[in-house]
Chain A
Amino acid sequence: MPLNVTALVIFIALFVFITVLGFLAAHWRRGDLDILHEWGLAGGRFGTVVTWFLLGGDLYTAYTFIAVPALVFGAGAIGFFALPYTIVVYPIVFVVFPRLWSVAKRHRYITAADFVQGRFGNRWLALAIAVTGIVATMPYIALQLVGIQVVIAAMGIEFQGNWLLSDLPLIIAFVILAAYTYSSGLRAPAMIAIVKDILIWVTVIAAVVVIPIELGGYGKIFASVPQAKLILAAPPANGTGAYSAYATLALGSALALFLYPHSVTGVLSSDSRHVIRRNSALLPAYSFLLGLIALLGYMAIAAGVEKAPEFAAMFKQYSNSFAVPALILWAFPSWFAGIAFAAIAIGALVPAAIMSIAAANLYTRNVYRAFIAPVCSDRQEAQMAKLVSLVVKLGALFFIIFLPLKFAIQLQLLGGIWISQTIPAVIIGLYTRRLHHWALFIGWAAGILTGTGMAYASNFQSAVYPLHLAGYVIPSYAALYALALNIVVSVVLTPIFNVLGIAHGRDETSDGDYTSDEDRAMAVPGMAAASGAAGRR
């Protein structure tokens, strides 16, 4: 690709702007950044609007913006499972996560593993939750870099045969990211998320207006998509086919999404449980955006970018991931392509920052403090988290530079299956602690092993596992099968452990903690019981 100077200048200008913003963010809603709660959760002071931007920037990542249309471009309708996924996730968030917010606020939890520790009193179970979160997050961060890589290449920056020079822009971007995350904590991605989201909205709205005009309308776009890709294939007589795959991918992904550490960080940084409830109705705006972005995959088919000679080399290197950048170059003048590419690259930095902070919180609280240095000071704890956030990002960078891309993709696929196995301890734990903590631990292990085995059966190519039941084939997202086994094991082992007399751990939470508002969070223990008694009169 020839060097696109106009696009590059605009891209760099926007990049410099958000870098300055990232460092300035340290002064925003000033707090003592030597305390983990301030660095890693911004003190839990974000209202409805900032939380909307933060979670929007956090969940709808650059990787999503590249990978979803790439899937639609290559495979068609199945790629649209992202829609039911992001439709059903919000009722779940609405019902479940205000409880996590309330109990976390009262007990100063900053991770899901903190909650599991407090609820079940078993630090090994908490460690399992923390390690699952960290391991699931690492490849996710690495994949964000792919978004940056693709758009940098699309602007024509290439150094044939010299990996150091080729990866230099990526390394620079990541060093900048690491520096402002270190100094400003969660405030930096929160502030940058606002810029990122505005750029993404502008880009997508322009794309869904301008490109269909150039292509002769939506009818023409859909007409150019091969019939076989347009809707899901009807299931065979002896199975549920693409139908169950589509529905279980959506449901399983929805159940898992808010268990990812970066989602928990976003939820817990809000300043009230009502903010989470409100955002459950407001965040679907991003789902709509995601649906429009998915349509870009079809627009790329209609525009015939794959056959354009100038893009051939790029498709060869990045395959379908180049569909969206190619479409942008095809449809827009250089200056707007610069804005669009900046939106994608900044869209990678925001979640990468939040993910590295979330992983650092987990390591510091549930590994370092729980197992290595139980008596560390608040200051030491925050310092450790800052260092770990650097290590995590460095790891992701090495991952992308030195390992084949397919490892990161396969690990991210496994990450979704693994993080789903924390559902019983975290989500069921928010409602009841009847399940025995060791039963939950063994259930978790069984789920991880089964889910990994199912992915292995497809040679890590697919997250969908075709379960054979008496000649009937039910393809389903492996995470759900593994989760079902996980829950069954937890439920069956609980009475056995109870009969054996293995003690339940200490529960430091009380029922009122799960529904409390922030202003009552500071009240003395026993207040909830007293107000309950008053209500009964």
Chain B
Amino acid sequence: MHLKYRASYFSPKVWDELHRGKIMANGPHPAAGRPSVWWLLLLLPFIATLWVPFYNSIEPSWAGIPFFYWYQFLWILLGAIITAVVYFATEG
């Protein structure tokens, strides 16, 4: 419950409701739309691509392509998938 509440800070919708006083200090209001942990997923691309030591190496290379490159290309795809997942989980 506590985790969910903190996760809500990443949701613009919840920010608004917070400002309007719909969410009280003791937790989300029942009707305010459950704050979603889905938004936390959006942090993954930041962690994966902004911490350079994770991927600044040649091995494991793939078909002659150094890790540095295929790892970052892979994260373009993963980033898009993550955004799509959060989109479908929070839309409507």
Residues of A within 8 A of B (CB): 77, 80, 83-84, 86-88, 90-91, 94-96, 98-99, 217-223, 230-232, 234, 242-243, 246-247, 250-251, 274, 277-278, 280-282, 284-285, 287-288, 291, 295, 431-432, 511-512, 514-515, 532, 535-537
Contact = CB atoms under 8 A, between A and B. Distances in A.
* Majority secondary structure of chain B interface residues (helix, strand, loop or mixed): helix
Contacts of B64: 217-223
Contacts of A99: 12
B87 A94 contact: yes
11 contacts: A84-B72, A84-B75, A88-B50, A218-B63, A219-B63, A231-B58, A234-B56, A247-B50, A277-B91, A288-B73, A514-B12
B76 A232 contact: no
A282 B84 CA distance: 8
Interface string B7-19: 0001011011001
Contacts of A231: 56-58, 66, 68
Contacts of A86: 76
B52 A247 contact: yes
B72 A291 contact: yes
Contacts of A84: 49-50, 72, 75
Interface of B: 10, 12-13, 15-16, 19-20, 22, 29, 31-32, 39, 42-43, 45-46, 49-53, 56-58, 63-66, 68-69, 72-73, 75-77, 79-84, 86-87, 91
B63 A243 contact: no
A77 B20 contact: no
A431 B50 contact: no
A104 to B, nearest CB: 15
Contacts of A280: 83, 87
A221 B16 CA distance: 51
B20 A511 contact: yes
B76 A83 contact: yes
Nearest to A512: B16
Nearest to A220: B64
A289 to B, nearest CB: 10
Contact of B79 (A87, A96, A222): A87
B56 A95 contact: no
A199 B13 CA distance: 39
Given A511-B16, A515-B16, A91 B83 contact: yes
A360 to B, nearest CB: 30
A99 B69 CA distance: 34
Contact of A83 (B16, B63, B72, B83): B72
B83 A532 contact: no
Contacts of A512: 16, 20
A230 B86 contact: no
A230 B68 contact: yes
Interface centre among B19, B56, B81, by most chain A C-beta atoms within 10 angstroms, is B56
A221 B76 CA distance: 22
Contacts of A284: 76-77, 79-80, 83
